[in-house]
Amino acid sequence: MQRESRKRRVGIVTPPDARVLMTPRTPSPKRYRKENGDNLEMGEANLRARQDEKHYKVFNDSIHGHIEVHPLCVEIIDTPQFQRGCYRVFPGASHNRFEHCIGTCYLAGRLVKSLRKRQPELGITDEDMLCVRIAGLCHDLGHGPFSHTFGALFIPTARPDAHWKHEDASVRMFDHMMMRNKLSPSFEKYNLTERDVTFIKELIAATVLETTICTSEDWPYKGRGPEKSYLYEIVANKRTGIDVDKFDYFSRDCHCLGINNSFDHKRYMKFARVINVSGKLQICVRDKEAGNVYDMFHTRNSLFRRAYQHKTSNIIERMITEALLKADRKVLFKGSNGKMFSISECIDDMEAYSQLSDHVYYQILNSSDPALEEARKILLRIQRRDLYKCIGHSIFRERRDEKEIPDIQLDIAGYIEDGPKLDPEDFIIDMVTFDYGMKDRNPIDEVRFYGKSNPDKPLFFRKDEVSNMLPEMFAEQHIRVYFRKNDPKLLEKAQRCFLRWCGRQKCTTPKGGDALAELTPMKSAQQGGPSNMERRLSYQE
């Protein structure tokens, strides 16, 4: 009685049946085994999950807010191989792949968790969820300096026979990270086996599942069986292009660039459901979300047009590529067994590759080595904003192959009227394709939906069943032409050559330069004022 009155004085009230209302303490494994018998395995899994949650680390993300990260993922984040992707320093901007990978990890966990909650019959385990999270976290480990500039421009030029892909490099870097940081015991601590590690690497590699019917005979993966085929669509979905990697970088880039993101990935996750489609378990979405899915592909197209393939960004990437090519054999990195590797050779040795980051830009720029003089001059032009000038761009009416670029350079340079000839090598041809993620195909053709009345029946929508206002064509190819020399007279001649070339090709009226009929000097130019060409060149740059 004396104890109860003391509790009341400090505001603590003990209910009559305190044992019912008070939070029960976590049972010990021994007690759980005694009380639950056949449910032992599931009970211990739940117990481990609750204990693991105590060690989750909270990250404050600018896009997703406060997100909880599994302790094994935190251990991976703290490795040098992951920290290598921390900040992508770029002239005029910065992009943080570090945050993107953590965001992808978070969204991967959310999607697989929502599927498990909505469809417990799928049998998604804690190990499945953790593997998908780790794959989301590590899917970009293999990117080189300046990301796609390295993989799409530098390596194909420096080593055309390498057939290198950053996804394959991510798998090799994951293996290297596991070995160098001795992470195997940590994986075992959370019941992840060699089969689970294989599963993670298969998710990162993102190979396309070609089989129509998922049977044990033709199933191509080793990490999980065909009954878990839908898990291969979460991090990198090569079938539909709808995956958490895009969810994160769409949200992140739209936020940073001030571009409206009309796609709602949270809503998509709420209506995602696994359905058997022709013998294959696939992630489908509610029929009323067809418009939201189209918005995702439209957002992708907008980002590529307005940011990823911006004409100024592209020429900076080209100039960086030229500088790296000139510095390739002159900048070395220490790899395995103390062996030295050039920039392009680093992809063969993960120890050397882990040393290669965006800092190579400033390593060249600030070097006093005479052997790096040519590369340094190109980077100095970037620093001074003395970029190669865009002399115009057009849209091809028929698709052209990039193998034709040397011939196009010769053709354009051949349209010089008078004076000294222009060097074809001074013309930089940039072929850019804008699409909805599936080349010239409608991306929705690969997506399956379900209705409210029959959620287990997959539905296919024709384009006109969604809206009559959707595009007729889903891809177009642009050509942009830049000129290396910054002499105004040479620039004008180069632009005239491009305009004449366009007039004899199957392409639209060129933009960024004067129309052919306007090449005659205007009256103001004859009286000493600037020509129409000079006005356009001045306006462009």
119 φ, ψ to 5°? -135, 75
Angle formed at CA 329 by CA 327 and CA 333, multiple of 5 degrees? 95
Q: What is the CATH number of domain 388-439+474-514?
A: 3.30.70.2760
- Integer Cα distance of 20 and 18 in angstroms: 5
Phi, psi of 425 (to 5 degrees): -70, -15
∠ CA 359-349-139, rounded to 5° = 70
At 509 the pLDDT is 85
**Numbered ranges of CATH 3.30.70.2760 in the chain:** 388-439+474-514
Four-CA torsion 221, 225, 231, 233, nearest 10 degrees: 50
Please answer whether residues 327 and 375 qualify as being in contact, where contact means their C-beta atoms are separated by less than 8 angstroms: yes
Segment 64-84 mean pLDDT: 91
What's the CA gap between 304 and 258, in Å, rounded? 14
What pLDDT does 16 receive?
39
Averaged pLDDT for residues 17-41: 43
| pLDDT tens-digit series, residues 408-434 | 999 999 998 877 889 999 999 999 999
Determine phi and psi for 431, rounding to 5 degrees: -95, 120
Answer whether 339's CB lies under 8 Å from 330's CB: no
User: Is pLDDT above 50 for 8?
Assistant: no
What residues pair up with 434 in beta bridges, in sequence order? 476
Q: Residue 443: which pLDDT band, with cuts at 50, 70 and 90? A: confident
Helix (H/G/I), strand (E/B), else coil: 103: helix
> How high does pLDDT run on average in the chain?
84
Confidence of residue 55 (pLDDT cuts 50, 70, 90): confident
pLDDT at position 157: 95
> Of 95, 166, 176, 478, which is the active-site residue?
166
Under CATH, what is the fold of the domain 57-306?
Answer: Hypothetical protein af1432 (1.10.3210)
pLDDT category, 49, cuts 50, 70, 90? low
* Cα–Cα distance, 186 to 465 (Å, whole number): 51
For the cut 80, the answer to whether the pLDDT of residue 34 exceeds it is no
pLDDT in the model for residue 532: 42
Q: Does residue 15 or residue 191 have the better pLDDT? A: 191
Q: Is the predicted pLDDT of residue 12 greater than 50, yes or no?
A: no
pLDDT tier for residue 46 given thresholds of 50, 70 and 90: low
Alpha carbon of 111 to those of 55, 120, 265: distances in Å? 21, 14, 10
Q: What is the pLDDT of residue 530?
A: 47
194-215 in b/e form (b: 16+ CB < 10 A) is eebbebbbbbbbbeebeeeebe
Where in the chain do CATH 1.10.3210.10 domains reside?
57-306
CA dist 140 and 215 (Å) reads: 30
> Which has more confidence, 441 or 72?
72
What is the rounded distance in angstroms from the CA atom of residue 490 to the CA atom of residue 410? 16
Percent of the chain with pLDDT over 70: 79
Q: What is the pLDDT of residues 255-270, one digit of tens each?
A: 888 888 989 999 999 9
The pLDDT of residue 216 is 59
Query: Is residue 166 among the annotated active site residues?
Result: yes
Beta strands in 210-294 (DSSP E): 272-277, 280-286
CA-based angle 159:164:166, to the nearest 5?
Answer: 135
Residue 268 three-state SS: helix
Sequence-distant (≥ 6) Cβ neighbours of residue 270 within 8 angstroms: 114
CB proximity list for 535: less than 8 A, separation 6 or greater: none
In whole angstroms, give the CA distance from residue 222 to residue 202.
8
pLDDT of residue 510: 87
